[in-house]
Amino acid sequence: MFGDLCAAVVEVAEERLTGGPDAEALARLSGYVRLMAENTASDTERRGCLLAKGAAELAQHDPAVAGRSAETMTALLTLLRTEISAAQRHGDIDRAADPERLAALLLTVVRGIEAVGKAGLDPETLRNIADTALAVLPMPEGQKRLATESSPAREN
């Protein structure tokens, strides 16, 4: 069951992050980060994620859980890094920025949103965390993010 869940987590990321031109990479990244925040915000019963719970509680005692958790996080990092690199090629993210570090930041934000959401932070705060993480991605010098790249429900 844990392995199936891990596969599903990666599958959702693949569906959101792969394919399409470099010109749409930043939109794919933004959509994925916001989807993860929205999924957590809509979890009103605060059930959380079996991946997070399993890794936190079982990984130190179960090598299979530890290995599968690490594989899942590595796959997510790779997907995020690939999209960040595509956004860099298109000129939406500063080419001098390290895509590996930015991918690790976004992965930590996405997985952290789930943790603080389960702890009781309100949905609006979770959405703000996602938007803030996206806003701090380094832009090429002299460029500004377009207003259309912000969360549509929160413009105004």
Average pLDDT over every residue of 49-58 = 57
How does 125-152 read in b/e, with b if 16+ C-beta sit within 10 Å? ebbebbbebbeebeeeeeeeeeeeeebe
Q: Measured between alpha carbons, how far is 145 from 148 in angstroms, rounded to an integer?
A: 8
Alpha helices in 18-141 (DSSP H): 25-41, 50-58, 63-90, 99-118, 123-135
- Residue 132 pLDDT greater than 90, yes or no: yes
For residues 90 and 69, give the distance between their C-alpha atoms in angstroms, rounded to a whole number: 32
pLDDT of res. 59: 55
Of 46, 17, 15, 26, the closest CA to residue 126 belongs to 46
Instruction: Note whether residue 55 is domain-resident.
Output: yes
Taking the C-alpha atoms of residue 77 and residue 119, their distance in angstroms, rounded to an integer, is 24
Question: Which amino acid, 60?
Answer: Q
Structure confidence at residue 46 (pLDDT) = 57
Answer whether 66's CB lies under 8 Å from 59's CB.
yes
Q: Is residue 155 part of a domain?
A: no
Print the domain residue range for 109.
Answer: 2-139
What is the C-alpha separation between 28 and 21, in angstroms, rounded? 10
Cα separation, 34 vs 83, in Å, equals 15
Tokens of 64: 């299979």
Number of domains present in the structure of the chain = 1
Higher pLDDT, 113 or 155: 113
What CATH number does the domain containing 92 carry?
1.10.357.10
Tell me what pLDDT residue 143 has: 73
pLDDT band per the 50, 70, 90 thresholds, residue 53: low
- Residue pLDDT, tens place only, 73-97: 899 999 999 999 999 999 999 999 9
* 42-66 average pLDDT score: 63
pTM score of the predicted model: 0.83
User: Would residue 153 count as lying in a domain?
Assistant: no
Encode pLDDT of 13-52 as tens digits: 999 999 899 999 999 999 999 999 999 898 766 555 655 5
Give the integer Cα–Cα distance in Å for 70 and 18: 21
pLDDT category at 68 given cuts 50, 70, 90 is confident
Residue 150 exposure: Cα atoms within 13 Å on the Cβ side? 13
